[in-house]
Every structure is written in C-alpha cells, then in structure tokens.
Amino acid sequence: MELDDLKNKWQNNHSTNTSTSKQTIMELSQQKSYGPVAALKNVLTKQMVLIPFLVIVLIIQAVRNPSLQSDPFFGLFTGMILLAALFFTISYLILTKMDKQAAPVAHRLKNDIRSLNNMLWCYRLTFLVAIILLPIFVEVFKDMGTMQLMQAWYDIHPVLRIGSYVSLLITSFYFSRTLFNKDFGKHLADLKKNLSAIE
C-alpha cells in the first residue's frame, strides 16, 4: 500500500466541511494563547516584575538617606536597573514580533531563530556590561562611596579582589548562558530541529 493509493480515500473521508457556529469560532479565537511564544512571554513577565520592586526600594532608600543620591554606587545600581529594564523591553518586543504565525514555515523558523539569537546576544551583553561596570565602579570610586559595607571589601588584598572580579566575570558568563538556555533553550532547539528538517 502506497501513499498515492490512499489519496482518494483520504479526500473522500474528509470531504465534508464541519459547522462550528460563528459565535463559537469568535469565542475560541479570543482565548489566551498557549503557544511557546506565549510561554516565553510569561517567563519574561515574571522576571520583569522585579524591576518596579527594585525601583521602589531605590526610591525609598534615596528618600530616607539623601546623601545616597550622590553616591556613585547608587548611580551604578540605578544604571543596572535601567539596563535590565531596557533588556526586558527589547526582549518583549522581539517576542511580540515572533507571536505572528502568518508566514511560510521555513521563513518563520529562520526569523524566530534569528530573533531568539538576537535576544541571547542582548541578554549576554546586558549581563556582561553589568558585571564589568561593578568592579570598575568599586575600584574607581572607592574614595567616594558612602556605604559602610564597602570598607570591609577594600581591606582585602588587591590581588584577591581582582581574582574575585575575574571569577565573577567567568561565572556570570556561564550563568547567563545557563539561565537563557533554561528559559528559552528548548524552544530555540526545537526551531533549529524543524529548520534542519525542512531545508
């Protein structure tokens, strides 16, 4: 038995159109999406919730202790939060763009892979910039900081401090990759698998 032998049988078996009411069609189409892009958006939204929370903490701290406002580390944390907010905004826009299925299958697969790779690049860059800025601020502005906590850090031998910065950089490089793969890796792998099957 070959596929061609079954062609007529297939067509005859499915020749009649069904009759779901127009109201039901509209009701179904207004439901929430459960596709992978919607799932990725949920992951991102959960992480984004942290941003307003951190902004509120920073504002409270700045109001309670006005001298903090001129502290370079306060500026660093504010900058990091803004950087994270920028990353989340870009990522959300990328996912929203991906959430349209009207394109030839191979084109959509390629576009989605490109979008997720751009997101990964953006993710790593955000992490890298934040991690590089941290030791720069800590070392360059060490005489300007007002946080008592930092004094203990400067008492540590410079070689050990530099070693810690390098370890932090290496760890964060792998951590960012692991974190991205945990949240987005499976979908990216599925897309690549399907693309290799179609090409």
Radius of gyration of the chain, Cα coordinates, nearest whole angstrom: 25
Q: Residue 135: CB partners within 8 Å, gap ≥ 6?
A: 165, 168
Which C-beta is closer to other proteins: that of 62 or that of 195? 195
Which backbone phi and psi does 34 adopt, to 5 degrees? -120, 25
Smaller CB separation from other proteins, 42 or 118: 42
38 binds other proteins (CB under 8 A): yes
In the range 135-164, which residues lie near other proteins by CB under 8 A? none
Work out which of 57, 60, 93, 106 binds other proteins, going by CB under 8 A: 106
DSSP tally for the chain: helices H, then strands E:
9, 0
Question: What is the nearest approach in angstroms of other proteins to the Cβ of residue 48?
Answer: 19
Cα–Cα distance list, 78 to 1, 45, 70, 115 (Å): 69, 20, 12, 28
Collect all residues with Cβ–Cβ distance below 8 Å to 111 and sequence separation of at least 6.
Answer: 98, 103
CB of 92 to other proteins, least distance (A): 16
**What amino acid occupies position 161?**
R
Among 94, 120, 144, 199, binds other proteins (CB under 8 A): 199
- Is 96 a binding residue for other proteins by CB under 8 A? The answer is no
Cβ atoms 55, 49 nearer than 8 A: no
CB of 11 to other proteins, least distance (A): 7
Q: How far is the CB of 135 from other proteins (least distance, A)?
A: 39
Residues that bind other proteins (CB under 8 A): 1-3, 5-7, 9-11, 13-14, 16-22, 24-39, 99-108, 190, 193-194, 197-199
